[in-house]
Amino acid sequence: MLNLVLFGPPGAGKGTQSNLLINKYNLVHLSTGDILRSEIAVGTALGLEAKTLMDRGDLVPDEVVICMISSKLDNNADANGFVFDGFPRTTAQAEALDALLVDKGTSISAMLSLKVEDKELIKRLLERGKDSGRADDQNERIISNRINEYNNKTAPLKAYYHAQNKLSEIEGVGSITEIAKKLNTVIDTL
Ligand code: AMP
């Protein structure tokens, strides 16, 4: 199986690149942000609980997202592999993911980390906010909180995967095609 963690701060281009990767390598896209937003759209209790946190730009509890990923892995037992987008975001999530994959006789193949400056991230997210309808893309204070959450709780995961020899850092600035090419080059050497 090919199991990729597509990593980076909010606005780094993870969603866009995930869509290209799942088509090229025939993988299943698992974005915890997308799953949470669909729970909100349907109006589930989980969605309601998550919405307050998401609208503030805070992370939702580890148990919630770990449970969601676990059921998605079970529901896609015959997948060729997965692109994890926006997950894991904490050390507890990374450890839980490793354990879930061990249970399935597989593991993370690589973490592909997109590097983009904060100023560019804020510009991209405010631009996306004009169409996305996402409250968390429309307010610079909430965007800054999301970037802080990333720096404090999520960025340390680079060291976690580096220690497993799985980290590749990729410049996330340039055209979508250029960035995709760089990702493909790393994946093709795995
Ligand atoms: P995203 O679509 O990845 O930018 O996520 C949007 C929001 O959903 C985040 O700001 C968090 O509130 C929540 N979220 C998504 N994925 C996770 C995760 N793995 N852990 C905790 N919160 C998450």
d(CA 68, CA 65): 5
Q: What is the pLDDT of residue 1?
A: 97
Judge whether 141 counts as a catalytic residue.
no
Q: What is the largest CA-CA distance in the chain?
A: 43
190 C-beta neighbours (distance < 10 Å), count: 10
Residue closest by Cα to atom 15 of ligand 1: 33
The enclosing H or E element of 22 equals helix 14-25
Q: Can you give the pLDDT at residue 95?
A: 98
Residue 15 and residue 114 in contact, taking contact as beta carbons nearer than 8 Å: no
**How far, in Å, CA of 21 to CA of 132, rounded?**
22
Distances (CA, A) of 146 to 8, 60, 142, 186: 12, 12, 6, 28
Q: What is the pLDDT of residues 85-104, one digit of tens each?
A: 999 999 999 999 999 999 99
Q: Which two tokens stand for residue 31?
A: 């974005």
Q: Closest Cα partner for 88 from 118, 113, 106?
A: 113
Q: Which residue has the tokens 């991230």?
A: 121
**DSSP states of 75-86:** HTTT-SEEEEES
pLDDT digits (tens, 9 = 90+) for 35-83: 999 999 999 999 999 999 999 999 999 999 999 999 999 999 999 999 9
Is residue 134 exposed (0-12), middle (13-18) or buried (19+ Cβ within 10 Å)?
A: middle
Peptide bond just before 61 cis, omega within 30 deg: no
* R_g of the chain computed on alpha carbons: 16
Helix axes 176-188, 14-25, angle to 10 degrees: 50
Examine the residue annotation and report whether 124 is marked as an active-site residue of this protein: no
**Residue 129, ligand 1, Cβ within 6 A:** no
CATH of domain 2-27+79-188: 3.40.50.300
Residue type, 27: L
- What percent of the chain stands above pLDDT 70? 100
- Please provide the DSSP assignment of 141-162 as one string: HHHHHHHHHIIIIITTHHHHHH
124 CA → ligand 1 middle, Å: 17
**Domain ranges for the chain:** 2-27+79-188
Looking at residue 190, its pLDDT comes to 95
Give, for ligand 1, the residue of 6, 30, 32 to mutate: max count of ligand atoms closer than 8 Å to Cβ: 32
